[in-house]
Each structure stands twice: as structure tokens, then as C-alpha cells.
Amino acid sequence: MSYIPPLRDLAFSLFEVAGARALQPHFEQFDEDTAASILEASGELARDVLAPLNRIGDQTGAKFENGKVVPVPGFAAAYKAFAEGGWNSLAAAPEFGGQGLPKALEVCVYEMVQSANMSFALCPMLTQGAIEALSVHGTDRQKQLYMPNLVSGQWTGTMNLTEPQAGSDLAGLRTRAEPDGDGYRIFGQKIFITWGDHDMTPNTVHLVLARLPDAPEGTRGISLFLAPKYLVNENGSLGAANALKPASIEHKLGIHASPTCVMLYEGAKAELIGAPNQGLACMFTMMNNARLHVGVQGVGIANRAYQQALAYAQERRQGRSAWTGDQSAPLFDHPDIRRILMLMKAKVEAARAICLSTAVAADMARVGDAEQREHHKLREELLTPIAKAWSTDVGVEVASMGVQIHGGMGYMEETGAAQYYRDARIAPIYEGTNAIQAIDLMGRKLAMNKGKAVDELLHDVTKTVEALAASPNEFHHIIGIRLNEAVAAAREASAWLIERRGHAAPDALAGSTAYLQLLGDVTAGWLLAKAALASKDRMRTGIARIFANSVLATAPGLAAGVMQGSSDLYNITAEALAP
């Protein structure tokens, strides 16, 4: 089926749930009418230009020929339309050609782009991260020389972290940067570099982690460098090819149209971004941007799988209807199929609301008074690992449900349901595995200001519980009871982790993944409840209720998993686990 841009749901979530109206005094060009126009136009691009290339891209895949990456036919024209439409510049600063709109609106647009064609979306998504890193850490010269072309989409950007011997543990990086006059020369190999090479734009700007000759060991000795595919003259024109190249592209489970490159740096000219040995801090600016956008990938791919499953459930006739007694009823008339679809819808809506709430917090953290900025910065930092991990887990789960609704036909490639499952599976892995996000949440984020960020979040959830209890709608009361029980479980688990993480780190680490799921479920249930209170649409109350009874009801069990400790893990051996 063709992709349907969820314009109504996006606008509702943005303004009624994530609270984007608070941004209007700080962004002159931003209001609900402007947002509606931008969403409609970007939805047309996603539906009419990008979505038709999704299946072709999966079947054809990017190619590596004669030492160069060849994108899928049609991608270059689609990228040109994307860039010329200004979709790369929505949230960038006007001084570099950006439109100065909120990140939250950019997230809405990118959800549709990811949903229509995840492989395509990865290219501009990483450019957004490069823009973010340069805008925060770049010199004035670097900003003037590189930002306008990145913002316009005339050039693309990449992020080069991983090496064969060093995956998520960046302390093991070996790529080196040797001083060379006013700049540096980069030597080394990077792997898993998304869109590391292509011919859709005249230049690609690589942000590369490397070590200086006198750098200390570990992550304290990493610096960040900028190495363009083609050297850039001081007047902005392109010079000679730089000494870097792709060696190959990976053969992957999914996202076949997105070239994942092995990159060789053979004395490539580069310049330092930020201070020496502060590369990890600089790169985290880019990574946090990417983590939110990867969470949005989870939303997008889940929504695409849900749309197809809903359409198939209405078209496919099989079995007797439980309600009408019809002999050849659509799948939609079977209670369990309808339950699955409602749960899919609930998880899509919840993941979208989490990502948009994170984006609104990021926007608010840059405006307003100091107290406002501090509050919203804490909320952004707390929600970022949840947005990335919880939403990408939802992407895989909902895509799997979509295959299940299709039955045997879902396991066949021709329906397309399997592609969503294959594409979704990478999202919990890259930009920091979801276990790493859980450790970040349990460790640094839970400890921020002595637990203030979590306390403030749960306080906000409790206010919604009170509103549900005061509602004349009896179904709201049921949601409130479940949400209140889940808040109690989250408070108990948070207190246990805070107490254990200092003197019993293995116990806290063993419970970190369960804790992220628990806090993600509570946040999701809260935002669905807010949606139910804000809308007279029975559907929103229905999906909030099914989420409450199916997901929030498990919160006490998740809390028990958080607080189980690590003794069973410590005492087990590999030999005991062997068959």
C-alpha cells in the first residue's frame, strides 16, 4: 500500500501532548498554521517522491563499483528535491541559510521521511548531526566555510567513530592525526560509516575521531577532526580530492539502499574541531542529535508497518466474525487482530509523543530565562536515552506485529511487511546500543541533580493521574489507576538504583535495561493519558486504556526485574549455560 502521511496525528501530538505552543513566543515564524503547511508539504514529498523508492531501494541496494559507491537509481533526484525544498534547513540558524524553526517541527518532518524511506533518510539525518556539532564547537571560519553548504543540503555530512577493534568502546580507537603545518593528516580505518560515499552531492564532510601523537590513553585522548571528501578553498570553491576513500560497503540485514562504508584515511588533510583531546565531548553533541533522530526512525518504521497491517487486516478475509457471524470476515473482525492493531497504534502514538517531547524540551532549553533553560535541559537529557531506546524497541516490536497480522504472507518478501522488520532491527543497535542507553539513564541521568530530573518527570505524571481521577469519564479513572501503580513502581526502582549504584554497581547495571523499559512505559502511558484528556476522540481514550491494561499493568514486574540484583549473573558460568 502507499504511505499515508499522519498529518492529523503529528499536529495533535506536537501541540496537544508535547506542548509546542510554549515555543511560539520564542520562534517568530512558528505557529499552528505554519506547522500545518510545512507538514502537508513535507508529507507530499514523503508520499510521492520518497515512498515509491523504498521497495526499489530494498531490492536493488546501493552498489560498490570501481572504488565508488553508486546509489540506488532515483535517489539522486529524490535528494535534489529534498534539498531544493529546504527540508534540510528547517531548524538551522538563519545566518547560515537556515529557517530558524523549532527542532520539534524538524522531528515531525523527519518522522515522515523516515517512515517513507528509512535508507534515504539516513543521509540527511547525519548531515543534521554535523550541522549541530559545527554550530556548537566549530570556529567562525569553519562555520562560514562549511555550514551554508551543509544547511542547504548542497553537501552532506557523516560521523566516523567505529573501528574494527573498537565498537562502542571508543577508548580503543587507533586512527591517528599527525600535525601538518596549520592542519593535520588523518591515518586509519573506520567501519560502519553510513552514507560514507556517494555521488548525490559534490562534497561530503566527514567528522572523524582520531588521536594526536601526544594524546593520553583512553577516551581522554580523543580529538574530533573535519576531513572533506574534496578540499575546500578559502573562497569556498572545491579543490583536489582528499586522501580518503571507501574500501567497500557492508552487506546488511536491512536498509539495503543506505551504503554502510568501510572508510580508509590515507593521510587525509583535516582540521581540528574544538580543543585537542576533547573530541568525545564534541562528538556527543552530534551523537545526541542522532540518538533523537534514531528514536524517530523507530516511530517512522513502526507507523509504516502499522499502516500496512491495518490495510491488510481490512482487505484479507478469513474465518468467522466474532461480532457479526459472517463466514468470510475481514481479519479486522477478529478480536485478537483488533487488539494487536490497537496496541500497535498506542505504541506508535506513545513513541511519537516521547520523541516530540524530547525535541520540545531541547528547543526550550535554548530559550527563556535561566531557570526555564535548566528545567528543560534536564528533561531533554533524561528523555534522550528513552526516546532512542524505547522508541526503537517499539519499531522492532510493531514491525514484528505487522508481520504476524499478515500471517504467512508477512514472511514472504513480496508483501513488503518483512522489509520493515529487517530495516527496523538496526535502530536498537546503532548510535549506542539500547543497553548503553539504559546504562546512561541509570547512571548519569538518574544521578543528575540528585535525582531531580526523574523526580520532576514523575511529579508531572502524578499531576496527570490527578486529572484522570477528576475526569467524568470512567475509562479515564481506569487509566489513572494503572498509571498511578506504574509511578509507584518507578519511584521504588529509582530509589533502589540510587542507593545501589554507588556501592553495588553490578546490581545497578544488571537492572538498567529493565529500568529504561519501566521509565519508558511510564512516560508513554503518561503521554497517552494526556492525549486522552486533551481529545474527545474515543480512539485516544481506547488506545490509552489498552496500553494501561496491557503495558502499565506489568510495571511492578519490571520493578522487580530492576531490583533483582546481580548475584545470579555473577554465579553463573559459560560452561553452565552451554548445551
Exposure string (b/e) for 415-441, b if CB count within 10 Å is 16 or more? bbbbbbbbbbbbbbebbbbbbbbbbbb
223 and 166 both lie in a single domain:
yes
- Statement to judge: residues 186 and 52 lie in one domain: no
pLDDT of residue 5: 98
- Tell me, yes or no, whether 110 and 74 share the same domain: yes
Closest CA to 232 of 261, 195, 194, 271: 271
C-alpha dihedral sign at 40, 120, 352, 89: negative
How does strand 183-194 pair with strand 176-180? antiparallel
Same domain? For 235 and 124 the reply is no
| Radius of gyration (C-alpha) of the chain in whole angstroms | 24
Q: In angstroms, rounded to a whole number, what is the distance separating the alpha carbons of residues 475 and 327?
A: 33
Q: Considering the domain boundaries, does residue 202 fall inside one?
A: yes
* Active-site residue list: 431
Is 377 inside a domain boundary?
Answer: no
Residue 566 located in a structural domain: yes
pLDDT for 103: 97
Assess if residue 543 is contained within a domain.
yes
Residue 35 grid coordinates = 506547522
- DSSP label at 216? P
- Co-location of 125 and 202 in the same domain: no
Statement to judge: residues 449 and 539 lie in one domain: yes
Using the Cα atoms of residue 430, residue 435, residue 439 and residue 445 in order, give the sign of their dihedral.
positive
- The rounded Cα 530 to chain-centroid distance in angstroms is 22
C-alpha–C-alpha distance, residues 576 and 579, integer Å: 8
Can you tell me which residue has the cell 572533506?
228
Residues 129, 35, single domain; the answer is yes
The dihedral formed by the CA atoms of 260, 266, 268 and 272, expressed in degrees to the nearest 10:
80
Tens-place pLDDT, residues 177-195: 999 999 999 999 999 999 9
Which one, of 287, 133, 265, lies nearest residue 196 by Cα?
Answer: 265
Domain boundary among 115, 135, 152: 152
DSSP 491: H
Residue 37 has a pLDDT of 98
Question: What is the model's pLDDT at position 502?
Answer: 76
Backbone angles phi, psi at 471, to 5 degrees: -70, 145
Q: What does the chain come to in residues?
A: 579
Q: Enumerate the β-bridge partners of residue 268.
A: 186
Q: From the centroid of its chain, how far is CA 224?
A: 23
Question: How far is it, in rounded angstroms, from Cα 226 to Cα 206?
Answer: 6
In a domain, 502, yes or no: yes
Residues 77 and 166 grouped into a single domain: no
Out of 118, 152, 186, pick the residue that ends a domain.
Answer: 152
49 and 136 fall within a common domain: yes
pLDDT at 503: 79
18 within a domain of the structure (yes/no): yes
Return the H-helix or E-strand segment holding 157: strand 156-160
Q: Which pLDDT score, from 0 to 100, does residue 568 have? A: 93
Within a domain: 365: no
3-state secondary structure of 92: coil
Please give the pLDDT value at position 236.
Answer: 96
The model carries a pTM of 0.97
Whether 147 and 170 map to the same domain: the answer is: no
Look up the CATH number of the domain holding residue 124. 1.10.540.10
CATH number at residue 181: 2.40.110.10
Residue 352 placed within a domain: no
Q: Are 550 and 342 in contact (CB under 8 A)?
A: no
Q: Which domain holds residue 178?
A: 157-279
Integer Cα distance of 291 and 478 in angstroms: 34
How high is the pLDDT of residue 188?
A: 98
pLDDT in tens, 199-225: 999 999 999 999 999 999 999 999 999
> What per-residue confidence (pLDDT) applies to 326?
87
3-state SS of 24-73 is HHHCCCCCHHHHHHHHHHHHHHHHHHHCHHHHHHHHHCCEEECCEEECCC
Q: Which residues, other chains included, contact 172 with Cβ-Cβ below 8 Å and sequence gap of 6+? A: 163, 165, 166
- How much is the pLDDT for 15? 98
Domain boundary among 279, 297, 329: 279
Are 458 and 487 within 8 A, CB to CB? yes
Cα angle value 402/403/405 (rounded, 5°) = 65
CA distance 161 to 139: 21
- Whether 126 and 174 map to the same domain: the answer is no
Q: Are residues 249 and 199 in the same domain?
A: yes
- Residue 245, helix vs strand vs coil: strand
- What does each of the 579 residues of the chain score in pLDDT, given as a tens digit? 789 999 999 999 999 999 999 999 999 999 999 999 999 999 999 999 999 999 999 999 999 999 999 999 999 999 999 999 999 999 999 999 999 999 999 999 999 999 999 999 999 999 999 999 999 999 999 999 999 999 999 999 999 999 999 888 888 999 999 999 999 999 999 999 999 999 999 999 999 999 999 999 999 999 999 999 999 999 999 999 999 999 999 999 999 999 999 999 999 999 999 999 999 889 888 888 899 999 999 999 999 999 999 999 999 999 999 888 888 999 999 999 999 999 999 999 999 999 999 999 999 999 978 989 999 999 999 999 999 999 999 999 999 999 999 999 999 999 999 999 999 999 999 999 999 999 999 999 999 888 899 999 999 999 999 999 999 999 999 999 999 999 999 999 999 999 988 778 999 999 999 999 999 999 999 999 999 999 989 999 999 999 999 999 999 999 999 999 999 999 999 999 999
Rounded CA separation 483/548 (Å): 7
The domain total for the chain is: 3
- Residue 345 pLDDT: 98
